[in-house]
């Protein structure tokens, strides 16, 4: 038989308005506009304020920012969402539609055309066919040799190398055998050696001089291994900064870029109705809508205040960056800002993720100002970005015939006062998109 027990415990429960504030803070400017329009549609107690409001300006309150260097910048224009009513924008075709248009230049019969479209619509983001030819052959009840014949025709489309089944085939499609016979032979017969940079005995295997091998490898290095990547899609995504900064009388002015968003307020008629005589059900309905409207207006206002406060603290903690030295970021964590503002670290995270600021030096994501730190042998704390920058310089300037191993890179960095481990070097190298030493080797 189950026993009844009494237990006392404390739980932290978020109020509905707190949940709403967190959700609104997480939205970027575009998504916030959609949320405001949705809220205006579903909540009759929420009204849109007629007319446009001037954007609110906040000046970074910090005496430490009294710098000698004076910048003269014109305040940037506030970003506005424009509607083109008189001149419609032309619709851009995506990459698949661009390839499908080239089918019209081929003399395919209906069944072959269907197979060709099946191939095109199964290309991955890099332009490779992501489906086995045997499956297409079975689906359309066609001989495999005929399906491959259709594939070969598609492989003549622009861009070169499209619809390849693997990297080797992709590169071979782009090579003209008559113009570059050595490069073609390398890809056809010695692809593994080329891909893994095993150049030591390559000239002897191919039966060519080292100079001919070097020229052939140079030709191969200029081929496109991802012919489908980098093509413009049907929609172009634009970044709209949440904040705009400019200098005024040696102080940073922070403008919350939301003047183009619908301004909202609580409908006074619904508030007045609560004071009247209503039945219980109607009064409960109106109170719920008014409360939701008040919470929503407060949440939008709180978002503006939080973004400004976070940006002010970032300016205080990164003085060298905002003096114009963009390579000097100090170590800074989300918790550092949270402690000063006396908010939860998740609030700072929501304020910086996917949010951008327009500065005189360019547009930056807020989270890019946060970096990890490391103590050098001299006792100075520096950002890991500086180590990555130095590592990139070493990799770019190394002797490509004898590239540095991760162990050697670790030794060089240690000698310069950066106590990093070999696995740390490997991690940073991968983040910088450099392969291992063996694959960086050239002849």
Residue 311 has pLDDT above 70, yes or no: yes
Give the mean model confidence (pLDDT) for residues 14-41.
85
Given a contact cutoff of 8 angstroms between Cβ atoms, the answer to whether 129 and 95 are in contact is no
pLDDT of residue 64: 46
Q: How many CA atoms lie within 13 A of 123 on its CB side?
A: 28
Q: Hey, is 177 helix, strand or coil?
A: coil
pLDDT of residue 308: 93
Residues 163-185: b if buried by 16+ CB within 10 A, e if exposed? bbbebebbbbbbbeeeebebbbb
User: Out of 3.40.50.720, 1.10.10.1330, 3.40.50.2300, 3.40.50.1240, which CATH number does the structure's domain 95-221 have?
Assistant: 1.10.10.1330
**Within this chain, domains 95-221 and 373-440 share the same CATH topology:** yes
Task: Name, of 211-225, 321-335, 363-377, the range with top average pLDDT.
Answer: 211-225
Residue 107 has pLDDT above 50, yes or no: yes
pLDDT of residue 87: 40
Rounded CA-CA distance 344/148 in Å is: 59
Given a contact cutoff of 8 angstroms between Cβ atoms, the answer to whether 258 and 304 are in contact is yes
The pLDDT tens digits of the residues spanning 412-441 come to: 888 888 888 888 888 888 888 888 887 787
Q: How many CA atoms lie within 13 A of 176 on its CB side?
A: 2
CA dihedral (287, 290, 294, 300) positive or negative: positive
The pLDDT tens digits of the residues spanning 57-75 come to: 556 554 444 434 443 333 4
pLDDT of residue 296: 92
**pLDDT band at residue 8 under the 50/70/90 scheme:** low
Q: What are phi and psi of 80, to 5 degrees?
A: -120, 145
Give the mean model confidence (pLDDT) for residues 45-61.
66
Given a contact cutoff of 8 angstroms between Cβ atoms, the answer to whether 244 and 78 are in contact is yes
Give the mean model confidence (pLDDT) for residues 262-282.
84
pLDDT of residue 76: 42
Residues 201-239: b if buried by 16+ CB within 10 A, e if exposed? ebbeebebeeeebeebbebbeebbeebbeeeeeeeeeee
Given a contact cutoff of 8 angstroms between Cβ atoms, the answer to whether 246 and 76 are in contact is yes
Look at strands 251-256 and 57-59 and give their pairing.
antiparallel
Can the peptide bond before residue 304 be classed as cis, meaning omega within 30 degrees of 0? no
Lowest mean pLDDT among 3-7, 202-206, 244-248: 3-7
**pLDDT band at residue 302 under the 50/70/90 scheme:** very high
Residue 11 has pLDDT above 60, yes or no: no
Nearest to 308 by CA among 66, 78, 54, 56: 56
Lowest mean pLDDT among 40-49, 206-215, 244-253, 309-318: 206-215
pLDDT of residue 231: 62
Edge-first strand listing for the sheet containing 356-359: 57-59, 251-256, 243-248, 356-359, 362-365
**pLDDT band at residue 304 under the 50/70/90 scheme:** very high
Whole-number CA gyration radius for the chain: 31
Report domain extents, the chain: 16-70+241-364, 95-221, 373-440
Helix axes 422-431, 384-397, angle to 10 degrees: 80
Rounded CA-CA distance 332/373 in Å is: 7
| Average of per-residue pLDDT values in the chain | 80
Rounded CA-CA distance 25/304 in Å is: 8
Give the mean model confidence (pLDDT) for residues 193-200.
79
Lowest mean pLDDT among 55-59, 135-139, 176-180, 210-214: 55-59
Lowest mean pLDDT among 57-61, 259-263, 378-382: 57-61
Rounded CA-CA distance 401/128 in Å is: 32
Residue 303 has pLDDT above 80, yes or no: yes
Give the mean model confidence (pLDDT) for residues 346-370.
88
Lowest mean pLDDT among 113-127, 327-341, 366-380: 366-380
Q: Hey, is 273 helix, strand or coil?
A: helix
Give the mean model confidence (pLDDT) for residues 319-339.
84
**pLDDT band at residue 41 under the 50/70/90 scheme:** very high
Residue 278 has pLDDT above 80, yes or no: no
Token digits of residue 52: 């446009």
The pLDDT tens digits of the residues spanning 149-179 come to: 999 999 999 888 899 989 889 999 998 888 8
- For residues 153 and 325, the model is more confident at 153
pLDDT of residue 230: 64
Residue 309 has pLDDT above 90, yes or no: yes
CATH topology of domain 373-440: Arc Repressor Mutant, subunit A (1.10.10)
**pLDDT band at residue 79 under the 50/70/90 scheme:** very low
pLDDT of residue 66: 44
CB atoms near residue 1 (< 10 Å) = 2
Tell me the sheet residues that pair with 252: 247
Look at strands 46-48 and 264-266 and give their pairing.
antiparallel
- For residues 90 and 382, the model is more confident at 382
Given a contact cutoff of 8 angstroms between Cβ atoms, the answer to whether 396 and 406 are in contact is no
Rounded CA-CA distance 213/203 in Å is: 6
Give the distance, in angstroms, between the CA of residue 430 and the centroid of all CA atoms in the same chain: 18
Rounded to two decimals, the pTM is: 0.56
Rounded CA-CA distance 129/376 in Å is: 49
Residue 143 has pLDDT above 80, yes or no: yes
Token digits of residue 174: 């782009």
pLDDT of residue 68: 41
pLDDT of residue 61: 53
Rounded CA-CA distance 308/351 in Å is: 10
Give the mean model confidence (pLDDT) for residues 16-27.
84
Q: Which helix (H) or strand (E) holds 106?
A: none
Q: Hey, is 148 helix, strand or coil?
A: helix
pLDDT of residue 88: 44
Angle at 312 between CA 307 and CA 316, to 5 degrees: 150
Query: 3-state SS string over 372-418?
Result: CEEECCCCCEEEHHHHHHHHHHHHHHCCCCCCCCHHHHHHHHHHCCC
């Amino acid at each position: 038989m189950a026993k009844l027990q009494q237990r006392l415990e404390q739980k932290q429960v978020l109020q509905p308005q707190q949940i709403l504030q967190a959700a609104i803070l997480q939205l970027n400017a575009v998504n916030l506009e959609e949320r405001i329009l949705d809220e205006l549609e579903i909540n009759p107690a929420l009204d849109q304020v007629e007319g446009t409001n001037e954007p609110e300006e906040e000046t970074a309150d910090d005496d430490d920012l009294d710098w000698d260097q004076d910048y003269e910048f014109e305040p940037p224009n506030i970003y506005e969402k424009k509607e083109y009513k008189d001149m419609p924008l032309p619709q851009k075709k995506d990459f698949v539609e661009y390839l499908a248009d080239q089918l019209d230049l081929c003399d395919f019969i209906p069944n072959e055309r269907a197979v060709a479209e099946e191939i095109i619509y199964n290309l991955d983001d890099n332009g490779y066919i992501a489906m086995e030819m045997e499956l297409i052959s079975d689906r359309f009840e066609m001989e495999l040799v005929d399906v491959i014949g259709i594939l070969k025709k598609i492989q003549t489309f622009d861009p070169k190398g499209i619809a390849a089944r693997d990297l080797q085939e992709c590169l071979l499609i782009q090579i003209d055998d008559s113009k570059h016979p050595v490069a073609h032979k390398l890809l056809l017969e010695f692809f593994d050696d080329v891909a893994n940079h095993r150049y030591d005995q390559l000239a002897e295997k191919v039966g060519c001089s080292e100079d001919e091998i070097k020229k052939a490898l140079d030709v191969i290095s200029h081929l496109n291994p991802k012919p489908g990547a980098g093509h413009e899609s049907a929609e172009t995504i634009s970044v709209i900064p949440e904040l705009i900064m400019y200098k005024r009388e040696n102080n940073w002015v922070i403008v919350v870029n939301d003047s183009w968003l619908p301004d909202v307020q609580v409908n006074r008629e619904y508030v007045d109705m609560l004071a009247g005589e209503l039945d219980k059900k109607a009064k409960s309905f109106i109170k719920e809508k008014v409360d939701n409207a008040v919470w929503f207006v407060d949440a939008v206002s709180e978002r503006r205040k939080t973004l400004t406060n976070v940006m002010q603290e970032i300016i205080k903690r990164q003085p060298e960056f905002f003096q114009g030295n963009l390579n000097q970021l100090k170590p800074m964590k989300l918790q550092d800002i949270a402690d000063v503002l006396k908010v939860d670290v998740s609030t700072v995270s929501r304020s910086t993720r996917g949010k951008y600021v327009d500065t005189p030096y360019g547009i930056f994501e807020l989270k890019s100002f946060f970096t990890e730190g490391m103590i050098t042998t001299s006792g100075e704390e520096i950002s890991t970005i500086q180590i990555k920058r130095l590592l990139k310089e070493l990799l770019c300037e190394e002797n490509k015939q004898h590239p540095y191993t991760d162990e050697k890179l670790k030794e060089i960095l240690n000698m310069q006062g950066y106590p990093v481990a070999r696995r740390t070097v490997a991690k940073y190298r991968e983040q910088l998109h450099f392969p291992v030493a063996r694959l960086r080797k050239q002849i």
